[in-house]
Structure 1
Amino acid sequence: MSAHEPQAAFKTRAAAALHDPILKIAVERTAGTAEAKRAVAVEAFPDFEAARTRAAAIKDHVVANLGHYLEQFEANAVAAGAVVHWARTSQEACDIVIGLCRQAGAKSVARSKSMLGEEIGLPHALAEAGIARVETDLAEHIIQLSGERPSHIIWPAMHKTREQVSELFRRSHRDPHAEETIAAMAESARRHLREGMLSADVGISGANFLVADSGAVCTVTNEGNAELSLVPPRLQIVTAGIEKIVPSMGHAVHLLRLLARSATGAALTQYTTFYTGPKRESDRDGPEEMHIVLVDNGRTAMREEGLAEMLRCIRCGACMNHCVVFRQIGGHAYGGTYPGPMGAVLTPAIDGLAKTRDLPNACTLNGKCQEVCPVNIPLPTLLRGWREKSWREGLEPKATRAGIDLWAWFAQRPKLYRAATATALKSLRAMGRGGWLRKVPMAGGWTRYRDLPKPAAESFMAQYRKGRRR
């Protein structure tokens, strides 16, 4: 998998998550709050639908003309004093970063949260190279201390309750919090992290946007940790996917308005910073060198293989905050770098469908993810595409194929199908108690964790026909 560690099967991970009552509390606290805040923010946003239509058009235009904008960005970034590197794979990207750190004689790096860094396995590569890593984002700091993987692209530690974080800080911080308050815990982390931020030899970040007509790199954070990670060190390294390009500052600002509202429900994120080249003679501070590593890692292939719409993604996390599956199992169950609906599309593209076919099949296809996506990615359609490919390539288990073949046989015989449906409804209603079904033959995957509602006395089609006769 992309995190360079062995992974259990999706169904095993999902089963473990469903048996974890603390996880459900933690996920609902964060995702539920995010869902409510987004609703308020979108309601107050004039012409939100028009804005997301324009955002999708911006991203589609860039993806269709990716070569042009990448070349423009490189030329302007170099003119501003930065050095641009190109990486086709995650290994190439890590090799470039580690090489730059070694050239600088770096013993420590301060890293601002980056899902691209997680995707290419950068934390693992730094550890193998013997370079100390300080995760400056509060949630990533929690993840680093606990030795876990991020479970959300905006809130990497959303699976942790504040009670668990308090215990972790007490064990790990030299000067832990004395009071059981969020403010006291945040202050404890600030004391612990500040020294590492200011003494690091290299600062590493991702990028929310790359502005083609100026060569600028944009980072968005809620804590200001990107600024403290990138400005004090003498060497600044930015790793970014090639799809992060936007034509101009105006386009970046339009997308930023949608990103903040969709991610956290805020009008604008607290810290939005544009970096253009290293420190100049007139600057009071800043890095002496700036290197930008542009990473493909399958993105060109996605564009050519029918997944170009997924390259619109601005990594807001709204799709997972509203996903009924994610809300039950959290992010770790997905196994890859990216969880939720977006992860169910991206992970097969990154890690291969044969290893990850369970992810598209875990989706209910209710369409909520596309409904809330700020760039209107047709996630259900893309997930169905993976399912169809899995079927064509013979990746589905024999039992699944046999079951669908049996259903198709009945479906092609309407009278028999209606008779079988009526019989099944009567049987299920007979098994129900108090309006619910606690056990159903061949549906143990559902009833092991939750009850099924008792079905109506008649099928939908039977009710529909009656309604038409009235």
Structure 2
Amino acid sequence: MSLKTSNLAFKERVNHEVNNEIMRKAVVKAQETIGANRQKMVDELGHWEEWRDLAKQIRNHVLQNLDAYLYQLSENVIKNGGHVFFAETAEEATNYIRRIAREKNAKKIVKSKSMVTEEIGLNAVLEQDNIQVIETDLGEYLLQISGDKPSHIVVPAIHKDRHQIRKDLHEKLGYEGAETPEDMTLFVRKKIRQDFLEADIGISGCNFAVAETGSVCLVTNEGNLRLATTLPKTHIAVMGMERLAPTFQEVDVLITMLARSAVGAKLTGYNTWLTGPRLEGETDGPEDFHLVIVDNGRSDILASEFKEVLRCIRCGACLNTCPAYRQIGGHGYGSIYPGPIGAVISPLLGGYEEFKDLPYACSLCTACNSVCPVRIPLAQLINKHREKMVAQNLRPPLEKLSILGFNFANSHPAVWKVGVNMGAKLMNKLIKDGKAPISVGALGEWTKARNLPQSDGESFRDWFKKRGSN
């Protein structure tokens, strides 16, 4: 299992994405449009801060009683005729789903959008058995045919424009129509309609599970999910273990916050509630239902100082306001979880070795804190990652040397005095038009877009000494 979406180094990814004009224009437009719509919905709902407090309380209550609610949920799913599997790791989850596919002799699987299946690398595992896996969310489908990865939690193809999409459809599927969204969507709809009818298994995520009834709540803006979960004979829902609520009453609050925060809408196009397999006498729905509950490091997070991140309802509001995401897009993060939420959760799930750079893809402006519907202090958690990496001695060698040198000079007044005096004189001689003769490391990155101040050769101490008598 790997959360990584790129093998490029962090700086290479960032440099590539900063120069991707199509992506940047698309992200700016989306952030501005979604942001404006979100604010309308917030104002219309009223008492927004109280709603945020309530959503936070609900999610905290669930996390504090997670074992009890998971037990209640599993008992009710089984009572309704379904099957429950608790997967401690990504491998356990994918192996269980693969076993079901083999038992059903599945040749074709249709999927609705699911971040947790991306997290565990499900598609690649199933394709090893020569099973055709078809993403049926329009954005995910477009990325799948082009071999691309999602760059947003809610709007996976946010980084593409219609010209690129039309080109992909033409090259991969022989599309000859216009590049209007309506024509391209109709083409895809006709293309995958037969797949729904032929699929042996349908796989979905789970926005929220309801412990009281054993139901799963699925929130979408397309009709694909209902086809994927009712036409195939087997439905497998995959959920992160924290994604549940005690009753429908709490889910009502959470989906109210989710829709407004994610896309600036009162509700998404479809709110689907599924409770077990088809019962006797019913005409639609799967004959077999499986709920796969994935831990994959969440228990460790729950026991850590980062447990507040498990309140996340995957709305993407933090991405829609983040200035760093605005510049580098989702692919700049190199993780299936980008943006501020990715900067917190990717190192927790994938380790600092893979994602040590992500907490630094942030200016700590706290814009993410102000929009999170469940009040996750994302900026503070990002800073906490930085503190932990320093404590674990994971800093770059040049940074270590720089800090050692600064600490030494700072603790020896004579050295500090000589240093600032010499530095002022050297800066006066060496800096020309705001640029240093040698630009390496942090200095080089800084001067790509900014000029250094021009020194007059006088240190602050000398300046103050001359004027101190006045």
Would you call these one fold, judging by a TM-score over 0.5? yes
Matches for 1:139-158 after TM superposition, within 5 Å: 139-158=139-158
For the residue of structure 1 that corresponds to 2:340, the secondary structure is helix
Question: Who is 2:378 aligned against?
Answer: 379
Is the CA contact 2:439–2:447 (under 8 Å) kept in the aligned structure 1? no
1:360 has 2:359 as partner: yes
For the residue of structure 1 that corresponds to 2:125, the secondary structure is helix
Q: Which amino acid aligns with 2:224?
A: N
Q: Which amino acid aligns with 1:10?
A: F
Question: Who is 2:460 aligned against?
Answer: none
Structure-1 separation of matches of 2:420 and 2:252: 57
Matches for 1:29-428 after TM superposition, within 5 Å: 29-173=29-173, 176=175, 178-408=177-407, 420=420
Q: Which amino acid aligns with 1:247?
A: P
Question: Who is 1:26 aligned against?
Answer: 26
Is the CA contact 1:319–1:370 (under 8 Å) kept in the aligned structure 2? yes
Question: Who is 2:11 aligned against?
Answer: 11
Query: Deviations along 1:164-206, whole A, 9 cap, x unmatched?
Result: 00111122335x3522311111111111111112221100000
Q: Which amino acid aligns with 1:397?
A: P
Query: Deviations along 1:57-113, whole A, 9 cap, x unmatched?
Result: 111111111100000001111111111111000000000111111111110000001
For the residue of structure 2 that corresponds to 1:13, the secondary structure is helix
Give the superposition deviation at 1:293.
0.3
Identity %: 39
Give ranges in structure 2 of 5+ residues lacking alignment. Answer: 457-470
For the residue of structure 2 that corresponds to 1:156, the secondary structure is coil
Q: Which amino acid aligns with 2:403?
A: I
Distance 1:216 1:427, change over 3 A: same
Query: Deviations along 1:300-349, whole A, 9 cap, x unmatched?
Result: 00011211101000000111111111111111121222011111111111
Query: Deviations along 1:87-145, whole A, 9 cap, x unmatched?
Result: 00000000011111111111000000100000000011111121101110000001101
Structure-1 separation of matches of 2:258 and 2:424: 47
For the residue of structure 2 that corresponds to 1:84, the secondary structure is strand
Structure-2 separation of matches of 1:412 and 1:218: 59
Distance 1:180 1:337, change over 3 A: closer
Structure-2 separation of matches of 1:171 and 1:112: 24
Distance 1:432 1:236, change over 3 A: farther
For the residue of structure 1 that corresponds to 2:273, the secondary structure is strand
Give the superposition deviation at 1:456.
13
For the residue of structure 2 that corresponds to 1:306, the secondary structure is coil
Question: Who is 1:460 aligned against?
Answer: none
Give the superposition deviation at 1:41.
1.9
Q: Which amino acid aligns with 1:72?
A: Q
Give the superposition deviation at 1:384.
1.3
For the residue of structure 2 that corresponds to 1:59, the secondary structure is helix
Give the superposition deviation at 1:39.
2.1
Distance 1:425 1:334, change over 3 A: farther
Is the CA contact 1:438–1:451 (under 8 Å) kept in the aligned structure 2? no
Give the superposition deviation at 1:426.
12
Is the CA contact 1:344–1:383 (under 8 Å) kept in the aligned structure 2? yes
Give the superposition deviation at 1:409.
5.3
Give the superposition deviation at 1:2.
1.6
Structure-2 separation of matches of 1:427 and 1:45: 56
CA RMSD of aligned residues (A): 2.9
Structure-2 separation of matches of 1:362 and 1:389: 16
Q: Which amino acid aligns with 2:256?
A: R
Is the CA contact 1:59–1:312 (under 8 Å) kept in the aligned structure 2? yes
Question: Who is 1:462 aligned against?
Answer: none
Question: Who is 2:465 aligned against?
Answer: none
For the residue of structure 1 that corresponds to 2:323, the secondary structure is coil
After the TM superposition, which of the residue ranges 323-332 and 3-12 deviates more from structure 2? 3-12
After the TM superposition, which of the residue ranges 82-91 and 10-19 deviates more from structure 2? 10-19
Is the CA contact 2:5–2:335 (under 8 Å) kept in the aligned structure 1? no
Q: Which amino acid aligns with 2:21?
A: P
Is the CA contact 1:82–1:289 (under 8 Å) kept in the aligned structure 2? yes
Give the superposition deviation at 1:407.
4.3
Q: Which amino acid aligns with 1:328?
A: Q
After the TM superposition, which of the residue ranges 334-343 and 6-15 deviates more from structure 2? 6-15
Structure-1 separation of matches of 2:242 and 2:226: 23
Q: Which amino acid aligns with 2:237?
A: V
Q: TM-score, normalised by structure 1?
A: 0.90
Structure-1 separation of matches of 2:425 and 2:36: 37
Q: Which amino acid aligns with 2:28?
A: E
Q: Which amino acid aligns with 1:261?
A: R
Distance 1:455 1:326, change over 3 A: farther
For the residue of structure 2 that corresponds to 1:44, the secondary structure is helix
Is the CA contact 1:2–1:337 (under 8 Å) kept in the aligned structure 2? no
Is the CA contact 2:5–2:334 (under 8 Å) kept in the aligned structure 1? no
Give the number of the structure whose alpha-carbon radius of gyration is greater: 2
Q: Which amino acid aligns with 2:94?
A: C
Structure-1 separation of matches of 2:282 and 2:74: 23
Question: Who is 2:462 aligned against?
Answer: none
Distance 1:6 1:373, change over 3 A: closer
Structure-2 separation of matches of 1:344 and 1:216: 31
Q: TM-score, normalised by structure 2?
A: 0.90
Is the CA contact 2:3–2:346 (under 8 Å) kept in the aligned structure 1? no
Structure-1 separation of matches of 2:362 and 2:387: 14
Is the CA contact 1:303–1:311 (under 8 Å) kept in the aligned structure 2? yes
Structure-1 separation of matches of 2:75 and 2:96: 20
Is the CA contact 1:210–1:246 (under 8 Å) kept in the aligned structure 2? yes
Q: Which amino acid aligns with 1:83?
A: H
Distance 1:237 1:453, change over 3 A: farther
Give ranges in structure 1 of 5+ residues lacking alignment. Answer: 458-470
Structure-1 separation of matches of 2:32 and 2:438: 30
Give the superposition deviation at 1:406.
3.9
For the residue of structure 1 that corresponds to 2:242, the secondary structure is helix
Q: Which amino acid aligns with 2:344?
A: V
Matches for 1:433-448 after TM superposition, within 5 Å: 441-442=439-440, 443-448=443-448
For the residue of structure 1 that corresponds to 2:252, the secondary structure is helix
